[in-house]
Amino acid sequence: MLFGEHEQYLSRVERQLGVNLISRGNCLTITGPEDATGAARAALDALWERLKRGMPVGPAEVDAAMRIATGVDAESRGRALASITRPEAVLKTRRRDITPRSPTQAAYLKALAENELVFGLGPAGTGKTYLAMAQAVSLLITGRVDRIVLSRPAVEAGEKLGFLPGDMREKVDPYLRPLYDALHDMLPAEQVAKRLVSGEIEVAPLAFMRGRTLANAFVVLDEAQNTTPMQMKMFLTRLGEGSRMAITGDLSQVDLPSGVKSGLREAVEVLEGVEGAAFVHFSAADVVRHPLVGRIVDAYDRADARRKRLADKVKTPAETGE
């Protein structure tokens, strides 16, 4: 179970960390550069601990263990890898058990469990929305909330809802499709359909939230960087008795018209330090999609940094006083 079928997990570790692994019975020999062998051993120890505790190990968990082991120094590896071996961090849904794949994801799940309002901020692929929805589904199936409300602002590439064909449901469904996809990853299709009809799960654009008070619900707002300050304040004040709210977004990907401030950015500035509100910041190191996504995010970050350096060097006469 640790090595994988035909030792595919060992091959994965060898390929990504640049080490050689030789197994004989229940003994495994690791050779290679000192830091790489240390990372490989720490990752495999953490995966073995998961198995001993009855937690699953698959390709995603193997990649997560290696990413964590190589992302910190040798002294911090044990503490960092403990985040993926704690049984209390497991979220149970009908279709799968979901566990954190980075220390930041573990901190995010802890924040979601302990706070009424949580902001998940960072690049695509870090699991912000997926984990928030997993927490929502887990609370719903255990009866700790009565319903889930999922929402997104309908802002995409300048296209207007009125220009799309169909009735209102058909117009907004393309914007909400990522939320449906995550739901089907956690619940059987028939349960998703049944709960959508009964109202236990509601997926709606942000514009439909005005005037409502959402009690005993887990509310998730995705793509929150595309809200205006007025929309964000409206949404935050929908929180009712017994409810929790998760707000996710990436402030580097705002699609609002030029000159319009992001409501998410303002909320981060205004609510920092407010009791009951938690902020978790993800980085490219937390990207858990295809490894290429992490490299893409890094490349864009470097390009943004270069543009900023050039902009700082090139000043207008008015700015320089000349």
Q: Considering the chain, what percentage of its residues have pLDDT values greater than 70?
A: 89
Contact yes or no for 295/289 (Cβ under 8 A): no
DSSP state letters, 248-282: EE-TT---SPTTPPPHHHHHHHHHTT-TTEEEEE-
Q: What 8-state DSSP symbol labels residue 321?
A: T
pLDDT at residue 194 in the model:
93
Chain centre to alpha carbon of residue 30: 33
pLDDT in tens, 9-48: 999 999 989 999 999 988 999 999 999 999 999 999 999 9
Residue indicated by tokens 């199936």: 141
- Report DSSP letters for 131-149, one per residue: HHHHHHHHHHHTTSSSEEE
Q: What is the pTM of this model?
A: 0.78
pLDDT at 159: 45
Q: Are 228 and 157 in contact (CB under 8 A)?
A: no
State residue 21's pLDDT score.
95
Predicted confidence at residue 81, as pLDDT, reads 87
Q: How many CA atoms lie within 13 A of 281 on its CB side?
A: 5
Cβ atoms of residues 266 and 232 within 8 Å: yes
DSSP structural state of residue 4: -
What pLDDT was estimated at residue 139?
93
pLDDT at 296: 84
Q: Where are the alpha helices (DSSP H) in 163-276?
A: 168-186, 189-198, 229-236, 263-271
Q: Contact 287/127 with Cβ under 8 angstroms?
A: no
200 exposure class (CB count in 10 Å sphere: 0-12, 13-18, 19+)? middle
pLDDT of residue 269: 93
Rg (CA), the chain: 22
Residue 187 per-residue DSSP state: S
* Domain residue spans of the chain: 1-85, 91-310
| Predicted confidence pLDDT, tens digits, the chain (322 residues) | 999 999 999 999 999 899 999 999 889 999 999 999 999 999 999 999 989 988 888 888 898 888 888 877 888 888 888 877 877 677 888 888 888 888 888 889 999 999 999 999 999 888 999 999 999 999 999 999 999 999 888 755 444 545 555 555 566 667 777 888 889 999 999 999 999 899 899 888 888 888 888 899 999 999 999 999 999 999 999 999 999 999 999 998 888 888 889 999 999 999 988 999 999 999 877 877 666 766 787 788 889 889 888 888 776 555 555 5
Assigned superfamily of 91-310: P-loop containing nucleotide triphosphate hydrolases (3.40.50.300)
Q: Which residues contact 93 (CB under 8 A, 6 or more apart)?
A: 134, 137, 138, 141, 186, 187
Phi, psi of 143 (to 5 degrees): 80, 10
pLDDT at position 10: 94
The per-residue pLDDT for 290 is 66
Exposure b/e, 79-94, CB count within 10 A at least 16 = b: ebbebbbbeebbbebe
**Residue whose tokens read 């209390």:** 88
